[in-house]
């Protein structure tokens, strides 16, 4: 029996579970989405930062690759939760932090998403302003309006944008790469192989932070996949897409910054366009830059919307009844988020590069311990078994506040401080390490280990199977899937 909402362009779901009748697509959709989301100008700037902050081009590219693979693997482990849970990423934090305790990482996630939206809008607004000849301020406002509409339409349009950006931006980046090789002597640029550990680790951290910033919403875009979708396939296609797209863009940025120097830094959009030429080619490249930024900015806006709704409902509601958001409420949340992002973009466009580099490293510090707690719980403690209706009930299995997660998360924030190296704060152990920032490595390991020690004894919190909300026809579908060998007999209603 098909659901009345299945197949429509405008999404009707928010933080409620996606029923089987509305599931669609294959794991390959994660590859096309994340390639498209990473082939864009802010990833280029991130790669350039590794060189701007001291690394030579050769080791910058290698460090960025290491960071994209390590951070991308963590991000892809979150993505693999989507088909199994059928939920947005951050609502699953209620299983670790409690229905109300999850507001702690959720509020930080909202700030991160709005900050990423603002930083992307700065560069996209410049491209739109040049394309329309209306200037950067008007460009920011136009781009903001288009982003809001796309986020309100939701899941299907977001995946379409990812596929479109992957093809269009992929062709454009091949063209730009060829032009860069023609314009500069890249052989000379990469000839310096001098290795310096601190700046190498900085390059790793920049790429890892880029990937980890996707973690709090990556499952939002895999949650409509059929429940029988292989976790290994979801993980693999997500990692392949995000690592390939990001490394492609960041390598271009690192080489461009090393070759062009001051001609690139602070003039990223105009430099990239100037490589292609003038006239119609320049206009096309401005469009490509705007399209690439549109995809990822819509992801950030949509993620902020999901996290905000999860926060508000967690604090205000009681009982296990799934939450359904009205179309008017959806528009209201998205409007508030997009306005906040536009205001930040207009206020911060003057010193973008310095602000963005600091922002990336701060994001890394706040979300590595959240990732560690979430992944340790899902894969090691709960072993992929959650009571999904209880995620809505502060009096249920997960309670309002769960101290093991809150303590582990706080510990994760504190234990990173001695190893952090940012413009705002430098820890006491940075100098003995030669200036290297390894805080993200500490934040990915120790909080997860502490959480596993504290939470594994809470046996009553872990159900013996995944428990889904009851839905018409669910029992019949579940038995059919078991008979066909698509799911295990441990699933509910079997």
Class level of CATH domain 24-463: mainly alpha
**Single pTM value for the model:** 0.86
Quick one: CA dihedral 476, 482, 485, 491, positive or negative? positive
User: What is the structure's pLDDT at 360?
Assistant: 59
Q: Are 37 and 299 in contact, with CB atoms under 8 Å apart?
A: yes
The span from the CA of 382 to the CA of 399, in Å, is: 16
8 Å CB contact between 401 and 391: no
pLDDT in tens, 296-325: 889 988 988 888 888 887 776 555 555 667
Q: Looking at per-residue confidence, does 405 or 154 come out higher? A: 405
Cα→Cα distances 395→308, 314, 392, Å: 21, 12, 9
- The residue that leads in pLDDT, 382 or 364, is 382
The answer for residues whose C-beta is within 8 angstroms of residue 380's C-beta and 6 or more apart is: 452, 456
pLDDT classification of 181: cutoffs 50, 70, 90: confident
pLDDT, tens digit, 9 for 90 and up, residues 425-468: 788 988 887 777 788 889 999 999 999 999 988 877 899 999 98
Sign of the C-alpha dihedral computed for residues 233, 85, 471 and 10 taken in this order: negative
Structure confidence by residue, pLDDT tens digits, 31-59: 999 999 999 888 998 899 899 888 899 99
Residue from 49, 428, 226 nearest 234 by CA: 226
> What distance in Å separates the CA atoms of residue 100 and residue 303, rounded to the nearest whole number?
19
pLDDT of 275 strictly over 90: no
Contacts of residue 94, defined as CB under 8 A and 6 or more positions apart, other chains included, come to 101, 102, 310, 314, 391, 398
For the chain, the helix, strand and coil percentages under 3-state DSSP, each to the nearest 5: 70, 0, 30
Band of pLDDT at residue 228, cut at 50, 70 and 90: very high
Average pLDDT value over all residues in the chain: 84
CA separation for the pair 285, 273 (Å, rounded)? 6
Q: How far is CA 21 from CA 88, 222, 228, 376, 479, in A?
A: 17, 15, 13, 30, 15
Write down the domain spans for the chain. Answer: 24-463, 465-494
pLDDT of residue 361: 63
- Mean pLDDT value across residues 72-85: 95
């Amino acid at each position: 029996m098909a659901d009345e909402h299945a197949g429509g362009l405008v999404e009707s779901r928010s933080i409620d579970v996606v029923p089987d009748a509305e599931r669609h697509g294959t794991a390959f959709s994660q590859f096309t989405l994340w390639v498209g989301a990473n082939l864009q100008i802010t990833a280029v700037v991130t790669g350039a930062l590794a060189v701007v902050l001291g690394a030579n081009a050769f080791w910058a590219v290698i460090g960025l690759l290491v960071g994209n693979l390590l951070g991308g693997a963590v991000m892809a482990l979150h993505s693999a939760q989507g088909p199994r849970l059928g939920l947005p990423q951050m609502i699953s934090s209620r299983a670790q932090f409690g229905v109300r305790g999850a507001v702690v990482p959720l509020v930080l996630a909202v700030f991160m998403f709005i900050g990423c939206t603002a930083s992307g809008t700065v560069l996209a607004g410049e491209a739109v302003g040049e394309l329309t000849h209306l200037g950067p301020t008007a460009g920011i406002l136009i781009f903001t309006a288009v982003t809001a509409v796309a986020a309100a339409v939701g899941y299907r349009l977001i995946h379409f944008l990812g596929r479109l950006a992957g093809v269009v931006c992929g062709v454009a980046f091949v063209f730009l790469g060829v032009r860069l090789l023609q314009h500069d002597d890249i052989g000379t640029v990469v000839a310096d192989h001098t290795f310096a550990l601190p700046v190498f680790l900085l390059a790793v951290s920049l790429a890892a932070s880029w990937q980890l910033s996707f973690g709090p919403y990556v499952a939002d875009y895999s949650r409509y996949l059929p429940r029988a979708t292989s976790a290994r396939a979801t993980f693999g296609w997500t990692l392949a897409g995000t690592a390939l797209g990001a490394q492609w863009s960041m390598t271009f940025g690192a080489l461009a910054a090393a070759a062009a120097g001051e001609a690139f830094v602070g003039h990223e959009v105009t430099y990239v366009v100037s490589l292609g030429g003038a006239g119609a080619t320049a206009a096309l490249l401005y469009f490509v830059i705007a399209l690439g930024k549109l995809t990822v900015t819509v992801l950030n806006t949509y993620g902020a919307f999901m996290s905000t709704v999860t926060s508000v409902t967690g604090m205000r509601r009681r009982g296990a009844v799934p939450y359904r958001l009205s179309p008017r409420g959806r528009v209201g949340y998205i409007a508030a988020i997009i306005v906040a992002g536009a205001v930040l973009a207009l206020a911060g466009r003057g010193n973008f590069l310095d602000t963005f580099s600091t922002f990336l490293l701060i994001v890394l510090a706040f979300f590595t311990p959240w990732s560690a707690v979430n992944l340790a719980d899902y894969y090691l403690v709960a072993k992929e078994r959650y009571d999904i209706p209880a995620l809505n009930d502060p009096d249920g299995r997960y309670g309002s506040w769960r101290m093991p997660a809150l303590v582990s998360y706080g510990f994760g924030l504190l234990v990173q401080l001695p190893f952090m190296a940012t413009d705002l704060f430098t820890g006491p152990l940075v100098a003995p390490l030669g200036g290297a920032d390894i805080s993200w490595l500490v934040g990915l390991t120790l909080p997860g280990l502490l959480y596993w020690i504290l939470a594994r004894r809470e046996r009553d919190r872990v159900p013996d199977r995944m428990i889904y909300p009851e839905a018409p026809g669910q029992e019949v579908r579940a038995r059919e899937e078991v008979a066909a060998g698509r799911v295990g007999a441990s699933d509910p209603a079997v």
